[in-house]
Structures are given as structure tokens and as C-alpha cells.
Structure 1
């Protein structure tokens, strides 16, 4: 009889152990950790600050309304302002120490590309609100972005310059960086297809401040227009030096819609035409207007496309985690299946490469010290 009770006891203990294991396996996390990797210091800190603030605004709203299935989101911020190695270090730390399953960022193309192999190996999502390089498209299955790519923006821009402005002879001055090379390569292709010619392509080191040598070479060729590809600090200094040297050409650039350009260029930015992902809080879209109002109330400044994209990224992750759970593989599945998400940055769904399936691109011009819309183009 005693042996029977011992056997029953063993069976009961085993059953309880199995139940405990299943319960522990199914247990929801106490908090949902999401990493954020953005340049919070350095020459493009203004972009990183917009990413950070868009994230914080979204997370505060979600947590005040019960979190995700009753679980709060915790944000872990990391700075990539020192360059791609800082991005890699941040991603490694977030994965190995903080055990995140998803990261907003890296925000820079170079940082995202350098970090992608790590995320792929560990099955962790990298969701960038701002990277543009075409190479991101083939960086891996766990890499997503809700920003138009270089090809999408540069194709629209180069066609606009060739077809509508009728320019034929152009020069290119760009940073020695992946995103800048991608932009220049697309422009050269379109210019050649439209019967134009690129007279020369000059490069400068990232963070440089003196561009007179390259500009002197460009001036000697007398181009009708100059493509300048860099970040706001670089562009501001280039524009001032173009004015000093006396180059008479129409000026074009990649995205520079940051107030920082006015402080650095000191008037030399007037007339600059540039391309960017479309974002306008005054379009009458309630979602965008509401976000812009909340952003202004919280941070005391107008919203920016990177802030809107980061805000949307958090809400997209909330939607996916709610339905698919907090695991990299399942989040990836949910992101690929996402359909027609209506966000502050527009309607969002991803193609098979993790890029936006549909984008709106805007051509803008600086007139009277203000960013003005020239053209909105749907792709």
C-alpha cells in the first residue's frame, strides 16, 4: 500500500512539474523591452532627437492606456552618434544584456547595415525610421524601415530636374558614405537615360568643413546644376562656400528639412531645391495633424518626418506584438503581414524586402527662409 502511495506521489509531483514548466513557458514578460539606437550626439543629433521623441511620445500614450495586452513597454536608449561601430556596440548590448526582441533603429544607413548581420543571427528586429541606403533592402529578413529609399527619392528628383527644369549638364558633390553613393548612382543613371551628362563627381570625408578644393573643380566645368549629398552641417558649410567662390548654378540636395540648415548656411541656402519623403501636418489628414499637435505640446517644436516615423514604428510594433507575441520570429511574421496601417507618416505596409510598399516623395525649395512644397509625387 505504501508503495502505491509513493507512486501516486511521484505522479502528482511530475504532473505539477509539467504544469509549472508550461506555465513558465507561457508567462507573459513583466515588461516589453524595445531598444532605440539613434544619433543623440554628433552632426546629425537633430535627427536622432526626433526619433527619440517620437518613440517616447508613443510609448507614454500606450502605457497610459494599458500597454500591450496589459504589459508596459520599456524603452532602452542607445547613442550611435560616434559612427557605425557605436551602432554595432549598441545593438550587441541591447540583444545580449537587455534581451530585447526588437530595436527601433539604427537610424543611420551605415549603422543599420553594420548591425544587420547581428540582428539576423539573433532573430531580432531592426526597424529604422530614417535609413535610406538602397543596400538596406537586401540586409536581411529581420530588417524593416518606414522611410523611402534612396532609389525612390533620387529617381523622382532626377526626373524632375531633367524633365521639368530641362537641365543637361550637372556636377555631383557628395559625402563618402553609403547613402550618398546610392543617391549619386541613381541620379547618374537617370541623367544618362534622359540625355544629360554628369561633368564630374567629387567626394568629401564625412564631417569635413572645407570643400573649396572640390568646389573649385566644379566651378571650372560650369555646370547648370549641382547635386549636393550630405547631412545638414555639411550642406550648410558647402552652401556658404559656394556663395563665397561665386558658383552660378542651380543647387539641389537630398533631405535637409532641418532648421539647422538656416543657422549654418546663413542665407546661402536660399533657392536650394531638395527631395524628401512626403510629410506635411497641414494636409488636412487628422492623424498627422493630431500627432503634430501632441508633439508640439510635449517638446515645444514642430514635428519632423523622422519623429512621425518613429512614433508609427512603436504603434506598429504594439499592433504586431498584441497579435503575434513578443518574439523576434513572430514579430517578423506580423510585420510582413501588416496591411494598410494608418499612421502619422502615412499609410504603411511592407514588401517582401521590408521596404515600404507605397511611398510619397516631396520636392521642396527654400524660399524666403522657409521650406516650401514644389511637388508631391506618389510612388
Structure 2
């Protein structure tokens, strides 16, 4: 055997050893890793709020879950729904075909409702840190929601408007989507129970830039207050144009409609907007304080509702998956039996439909461009 052949054989052996070692290492990593699927609107109309802020909270949660090197590492595979139900279906099918058994997301009601039959059929557990539509409540046994249903919030909003503000005539202006229509239906029902008269039923399409026609109708009505439901950018647009039209009425928005874009787009028109948040934040709690400090340091921004809910959702699911050794039925039962889990948004419990139970709501308004608790 000549020298060149010997060198070739040695090189081939070394390459083979390296490849075998790489395959073995990858298999070991996979065996020591839990992969969770994530479906978020990272592009499209809801990207700047529901998608971006949800992803921020999720990534901070992963940092905390993976601090203990003795535990199985948790990773995520993220898919973009682009705020479209059909693409949400494609995304969740792709994740299931990759062998993933746990999914976080949907976020948008229409996307969540489109994904629901698929995860239910495949017995894949879906936990949703968003999607206020009341329809999600009956979407399936394997579906949990960590954002309060619009039906629950509607009772709180109606009680406040009727008993605290003593308002008897309201106008509705809402997004024509599963989310907006769902909020409108439950709010209307609750308002009617309280003896409130609906003066206007106005809606708009996602991404509308001109709401003046609807606002002009509301301005000429005898409504005392306008109830809003839509994406934050749309709400900002409404408030800015209402200010330009000198529409002198109170405005109250659904919590899912609140985000930085309300102020960025609405400007001074957003001042005095009222809304309820379903969270009870204790900044003296070490876990909560750590989240706020790291969030502000990493993103140069203050946390808002959906980043906090996404954080709690990811940490809770990750802990239950580890406790149950990745058994879906065990995780499902563990979530149903959750009692007073201490999240940064408050204590977490689920009802028999998988919806989060929240009793404590806080009234906020906007003052000088900031979200503040009302006095």
C-alpha cells in the first residue's frame, strides 16, 4: 500500500468517526430536549402587537426554564400564521408532522378556531395566550386559554359602565372578525341586561384607515360612550380621527385592543381612553420583579399584557411537560387540576372548559401617553 492510499484511508476513517460522533451527539441532544411548537402572527396586521410582544414574553420564559442544566432543555419551533386562519392550519399541521405534541399560540381568535379541530383530532395540546372570542371556550378538550374570554370581561365592563359611570346609552365600533364580533355580541348581551340602550352598531375591516363615516354617525347620536374592539393600530386610528372630528364622548376599549400602537397612532386622541386589565401584578414578588427588569433591559420597553401572559403560559406549560415526562394526557389533566399557580399576571386556575379563571380586574386609562391605573 503506497503512502497516498494510506493517507486517503486515514482521512476517510477520520471523517467517518466525526460524522458518527456528530450523529450520536445530535441524537443525545434530541433525547435531552423537549420541543414545543409555537404559532404566532409574526407578519400581517397583528404582528406588531400580538406576535412581537407574545414572542418577547415567550423567549424570556425559555431563559428561565433552561436555567437548570439538570433538566431537559426546552426549545421551540416557531411558525408564522401571518394573521390568517389558512396559514395557521398549515403551521399547526407542519408542527404535528414533525412529531410535536404541545403547541403555544393561535393568538388571533380566527387562527385559533381554525387550528382547534386539528389539534383536537390529533390529541395535541394547544395552550393559547390570547384569542378572546367566546367560541374558543368550546373549541376542544385539548385546548386551554390563558387570556380571559370576552364573555367574562364583558360582565366586568358592563358592571363598571352601568354602576360606576351610570351610562345608559352606548355606541359600538368593532373589527369585523371572530375577535371583534365575539366581543360585540357578549358586550351587547351584558349591556342589555343592565338596561343600556345601543344607539349604534358600527364595524370596520381589519387594516381600515378611514373610520370617519362610522364616527360621524356616532357623533350625531345620543350615545354617551363608545365601546371599541379591534387591533391596537386600528383603535389608535379611531381615536385620532374621533379627536379630529371633535367627537366629545367617552371611549372604552376591550383589553385585547390595547397596546403601544394605540398611543403611537392615536396621539393625544388616545388620552382618557378607559380599559380593564385582567391581571394583578405584584412587583414586589421576586419572579415578577426579575421579569420586569430583564424585559426592560432587553427590549428598552415596558412589558404589556400579551408579553406577560405569554411568559406565564410558556413557563407553566414547560413545567407541566417536565413533571409529566412529556405525556400529553398527563399534562392535560395537570392543567385542568392547576390550583393557584403563581404567575406574574396573578394566580392561575382553569375551569372545566380549559379557560383561565380571573376575578380581579383593574381599571386603566391613558394619561400623557402612558397606561395608568385610575384613581
Q: For 1:359 and 1:91, how far apart are their aligned partners in 2? A: 32
Write out aligned runs for 1:1-379 (5 A): 29-45=31-47, 46-66=49-69, 70-96=71-97, 98-255=98-255, 256-280=257-281, 282=283, 284-374=284-374
Deviation at 1:279, TM superposition (A): 4.8
CA shift digits 1:67-91 (9 cap, x unpaired)? 6xx3211211111224222211111
How many residues end up aligned between the 2 structures? 345
Q: For 2:225 and 2:100, how far apart are their aligned partners in 1? A: 47
Q: For 2:261 and 2:280, how far apart are their aligned partners in 1? A: 18
Q: SS state of the match for residue 267, structure 1? A: helix
Q: For 2:172 and 2:142, how far apart are their aligned partners in 1? A: 34
CA contact (8 A) 2:253 2:273 kept: yes
Q: For 1:143 and 1:40, how far apart are their aligned partners in 2? A: 22
Q: For 2:31 and 2:330, how far apart are their aligned partners in 1? A: 15
Q: For 1:248 and 1:234, how far apart are their aligned partners in 2? A: 19
Q: SS state of the match for residue 66, structure 2? A: helix
CA contact (8 A) 1:154 1:275 kept: no
Deviation at 1:329, TM superposition (A): 2.4
Structure 2's unaligned 5+ residue stretches are: 1-29
Q: CA RMSD in A?
A: 1.9
Q: For 1:278 and 1:63, how far apart are their aligned partners in 2? A: 26
Q: For 2:305 and 2:169, how far apart are their aligned partners in 1? A: 32
CA shift digits 1:163-213 (9 cap, x unpaired)? 111111111011111222222222222222222200121111112111122
TM-score calculated relative to the size of structure 1: 0.86
Structure 1 residues 162-171 or 294-303, which shifts more? 294-303
Structure 1 segments of 4+ aligned residues over 3 angstroms from their partners: 279-282
Structure 1's unaligned 5+ residue stretches are: 1-27
Q: SS state of the match for residue 198, structure 1? A: strand
Distance 1:123 1:29, change over 3 A: farther
Q: For 2:250 and 2:120, how far apart are their aligned partners in 1? A: 43
CA contact (8 A) 1:38 1:106 kept: yes
Q: SS state of the match for residue 268, structure 2? A: coil
Q: For 1:74 and 1:196, how far apart are their aligned partners in 2? A: 49
Q: For 1:298 and 1:374, how far apart are their aligned partners in 2? A: 29
Distance 1:281 1:49, change over 3 A: farther
CA shift digits 1:212-262 (9 cap, x unpaired)? 221222222231111111111111111111122222211111124422222
Q: For 1:265 and 1:245, how far apart are their aligned partners in 2? A: 13
